Amino acid sequence: MREAIKMSLGEATAVSTAPLPDPRQLEIRDFGSYALIIDARSPREYANDHIPGAISLPVVNDSEYAEVGTRHKDDPHAAYLIGTQYALRNIASMVESLIVKYKPDDRILVYCFRGGKRSKLWADNLRTIGYQVDVVPGGWKSYRRWVMASLETLPRHFEYRVLSGSTGTGKTRLLHALSRISQQVLDLEALASHRGSLLGAVPYQPQPSQKLFDTLLLDALRKMDPARPVWVEAESKKIGNLQLPIGLFEAMIRSTPLHISAPMSERVRLWREDYAHFAKAPATLVELLTPLKPIIGGDELDRWRELAAQDQVDELFARVMSQHYDPSYERSTRRSYSTFPLSHRIDLDSLLPERLDKVAADLAARFG
């Protein structure tokens, strides 16, 4: 490996001294102190977002919830009657199958959308049994406001070590190598279930909702130590359909990035592994990249189509990277990182795991 250091990191980026986000701001204990966190909302609401560690124990399921809502428009009393019948049957079933497993002195947290009827139904029954129960005041709505406020401030408490570099240079794998040696790593693409760019969708793994991504991100950051640096991959403001919090993005671009490069042969080999589905169907890759025609030109796009039709996958991968991703990466990085021309340069001769492990150890010793 050849490594040329262009400048030192210099003084650490200023970090926030504001109080760290704490669930006690929601008038509850830390989430980890509860033996059970019950999301009393419908399964659809739970899938959209939920408190970390919560399990879905809906008072009414999706179809029952819709039925109660429809009836309420014309006859609120009838809606409450049928809703209560559904709720008591459902709670009884879940007490018998799940709640009975918890010890009498276990503390339970319950929440619904606004901290109203659905939370009360669960809390009253659990307290009758003898459990200690807390209810989130204001429910998920209050929790969501806390998440958004926390994401405005918490990212600014950390100093970031940003791995930059064009696609295929092994940044994500290097993050994983750093994680294996107990460095603090924030893997944004894993949280977003997306590798970024037009090609970034992960087969059979839909992205979470924006709200759930925010929850996952905040949960990851809250588990980290602000006294230690956080390693992260350079990203644009969006990963697929998901938006990065502005506080995190601004904190990242204030850092001096570590620029990773690798030989094209290694990058193509990595693409064959990470994008095996495109290696099997190269025409699909070109189809996804068709919206780039105004940027790369019709002649270049036609060349990609020819290579795909001839199943010349390695040449296609290399050409897509060299003719689009490399210049695009440099333009975006120069816009975002004012220190980019002076960034640390880490030139890798191999992206094999054993080589990346050695690089990770060296980076941790220098900058960890």
pLDDT at 333: 81
CA 5 to chain centre: 31
pLDDT at 303: 98
**Distance between CA atoms of residues 206 and 193, nearest Å:** 7
pLDDT at 269: 98
For the entire predicted model, the pTM comes to 0.91
Q: Dig out the tokens for 354 from the structure.
A: 């054993």
Which pairs count as long-range contacts for 48-53, CB under 8 Å and 24+ apart, including other chains? Answer: 48/209, 48/211, 48/212, 49/140, 49/144, 49/209, 49/211, 49/212, 49/214, 49/215, 50/140, 50/212, 50/215, 51/109, 51/111, 51/136, 51/140, 51/143, 51/215, 52/215, 52/216, 52/219
Cβ(304)–Cβ(320) below 8 Å: yes
pLDDT at 332: 83
pLDDT at 334: 79
Q: Dig out the tokens for 363 from the structure.
A: 């980076």
Give catalytic residues, as residue numbers: 112
CA 208 to chain centre: 8
Q: Which residues of 145-183 are buried (b: 16+ CB within 10 A; e: fewer)?
A: ebbeebbeebbbbbbbbbbbbbbbbbbbbbbbbbeeeeb
Going residue by residue through the chain, which has 368 residues, state the pLDDT in tens, using 9 for 90 and above.
433 333 344 444 567 777 889 999 999 999 999 999 999 999 999 999 999 999 999 999 999 999 999 999 999 999 889 999 999 999 999 999 999 999 999 999 999 999 999 999 999 999 999 999 999 999 999 999 999 999 999 999 999 999 999 999 999 999 999 999 999 999 999 999 999 888 999 998 999 999 999 999 999 999 999 999 999 999 999 999 999 999 999 999 998 899 999 999 999 999 999 999 999 999 999 999 999 999 999 999 999 999 999 999 999 999 999 999 999 988 888 787 766 555 688 999 999 999 999 999 999 999 98
Domains of the chain by start residue, with CATH: 28-136 (3.40.250.10), 159-367 (3.40.50)
Cα 334 to Cα 67, 231, 234, 259, 328, distances in angstroms: 54, 20, 12, 12, 10
- Tell me the torsion sign for CA atoms 97, 98, 104, 109: negative
pLDDT at 341: 57
pLDDT at 304: 98
Q: Which of 52, 14, 17 is nearest to 154 (CA)?
A: 17
- The 8-class DSSP code of residue 201 comes to B
Q: Dig out the tokens for 250 from the structure.
A: 């601004």
